[in-house]
Amino acid sequence: MSRTMLQEKTISRTEAIDRLRVELMKLADDENSVCKVAAEKGIFCKGFHRSSDGGLRRCYSWIDKRRPGMSREELEDLANRWQLARQEVNQLPIACDVQQKEHDSCNGWDDFTNKDLATFYFELTGAPIAVA
């Protein structure tokens, strides 16, 4: 059956986020935050690659100030470790959940419309959904 023939199921925003979380947790691990994986694979929100160099440095200005002149790669590595540490401190499964609470590097799930969530889910699973 082709993807275009699959029926779109309508689910709640909460359920869409729960399903996305499950899929994203399959890709991330103890050393790689969702932000890093999304950037490397060009999926979901694009993670650290969502921001320009200047934007990323502003987002993590407190890290950038402590290590002026570091490369973007070094900043992304430190930002990745920061996201993982915040997950552990907050006892939350992925960076999106942390940022939903803290709003320091992004707004977590609040950054995405229902249509965005449906698109991300399709990109990750190939299953069409509508989010209401």
Q: Which residues contact 28 (CB under 8 A, 6 or more apart)?
A: 34, 36, 37, 94
Q: What pLDDT band is residue 8 in, cutting at 50, 70 and 90?
A: confident
Return the C-alpha torsion angle 40, 42, 44, 48, nearest 10. 50
Residue 90 pLDDT > 80, yes or no?
Answer: yes
Range of the domain at 87: 3-131
Q: Rounded mean pLDDT of the chain?
A: 94
Token couple for 124: 């990750």
Q: What is the DSSP string of 37-71?
A: HHHHHT-TT-GGGGS-HHHHHHHTHHHHHHSTT--
pTM of the model: 0.89
Distance, CA of 2 to CA of 117 (rounded, Å)? 21
Lowest mean pLDDT among 1-5, 32-36, 53-57, 59-63: 1-5
The number of distinct structural domains making up the chain is 1
Write out the E strands in the chain.
Answer: 9-11, 129-131
